[in-house]
């Protein structure tokens, strides 16, 4: 899950709310929510039982649809699909809602800038490669990895390149969570640096997929640079206040 800072560019959010031109972003959010609600992670589907039975069902579900690095590189065709299926599976309500918040805010304008088909391929391709990169770095792990964090990190990377001067309201713990506004070119690289530090300090084996965040962010930034060059939006309208 993408964390460590929270907030949205207000003008970005206003434009995203007004814009009907991001059906892929909204469709991805709806699909992720639907998959979560009908799966065992939500705890709302009575078919999976309760207590220990539910926990066992969750472990089996995540293992089936998530990325298990040790199985991925054994060459099984089913395992090769898991970096794609894992993008639509989330482990908890906090995991789901955190990811969907960032996709909702940053995805709409990124999709509008790229176009529907390109954004779809960008999201799925970068998400797949981000999880693949994480699995390669933890090739012997048998713990499953799920979530859209890698793909959404790619969206953040692309957003940084396309809208570097968009204002982001951030809550900084070391400043008593005071809401401060910074340009995206300050906040998003700072977020990426935190992921880098956390990835280096992470315990062995999967936990929070900080490395997938970094891979996704780098892919998104690199793609936007290669695809759009200097022809970027540069700034979101009305984003300079604050």
Separation of CA 53 from chain center: 29
Catalytic residue among 95, 141, 144, 213: 213
Active-site residue, selected from the candidate residues 11, 149, 170, 239: 149
**How do the pLDDT tens digits run along the chain, 242 residues long?**
333 333 444 554 455 445 547 999 999 999 999 999 999 989 898 888 888 999 999 999 999 999 999 898 887 788 999 999 999 999 888 888 888 888 887 898 899 999 999 999 999 999 999 999 989 988 888 888 898 989 999 998 898 888 877 765 444 433 333 344 445 545 555 555 544 444 444 443 334 477 888 899 899 999 999 999 865 544 443 333 22
95 is catalytic: no
What pLDDT is stored for residue 116 in this prediction?
A: 95
DSSP string, the chain: ---S-----HHHHHHHHH----HHHHHHHHHHHHHHHHSGGGS--GGG-SHHHHHHHHHHHHHHHSB-HHHHTTT-HHHHHHHHHGGG--SSHHHHHHHHHHHHHHHHHHHHHH-HHHHHHHHHHHHHHHHHHHHHHTTT----B--SHHHHHHHHHHHHHH-TT-EEEEEEGGGTTEEEEEEHHHHHHHHHHHHHHHHHHPPSS-SS-HHHHHHHHHHHHHHHHHHHTT----S-TTTT--
pLDDT at 133: 92
How much is the pTM?
Answer: 0.77
Determine whether 90 is an active site residue: no
């Amino acid at each position: 899950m993408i964390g460590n800072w929270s907030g949205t560019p207000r003008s970005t959010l206003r434009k995203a709310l007004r814009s009907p031109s991001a059906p892929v972003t909204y469709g991805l959010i709806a699909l992720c929510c639907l998959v979560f609600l009908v799966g065992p992670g939500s705890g709302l589907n009575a078919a999976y039982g309760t207590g220990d039975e539910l926990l066992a069902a969750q472990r089996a579900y995540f293992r089936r649809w998530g990325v298990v690095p040790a199985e991925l590189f054994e060459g099984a065709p089913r395992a090769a699909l898991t970096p794609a299926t894992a993008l639509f599976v989330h482990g908890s309500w906090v995991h789901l809602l955190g990811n969907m918040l960032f996709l909702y805010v940053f995805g709409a304008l990124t999709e509008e800038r790229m176009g529907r088909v390109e954004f779809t391929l960008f999201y799925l391709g970068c998400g797949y490669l981000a999880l693949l990169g994480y699995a390669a770095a933890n090739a012997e792990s048998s713990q499953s990895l799920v979530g859209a964090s890698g793909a959404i990190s790619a969206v953040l990377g692309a957003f940084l390149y396309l809208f570097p001067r968009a204002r982001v309201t951030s809550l900084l713990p070391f400043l008593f969570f005071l809401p401060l506004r910074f340009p995206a070119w300050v906040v998003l690289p700072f977020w990426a640096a935190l992921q880098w530090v956390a990835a280096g300090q992470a315990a062995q084996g999967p936990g929070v997929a900080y490395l997938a965040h970094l891979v996704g962010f780098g892919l998104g930034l690199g793609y936007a640079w290669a695809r759009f060059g200097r022809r970027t939006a540069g700034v979101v309208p009305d984003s300079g206040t604050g």
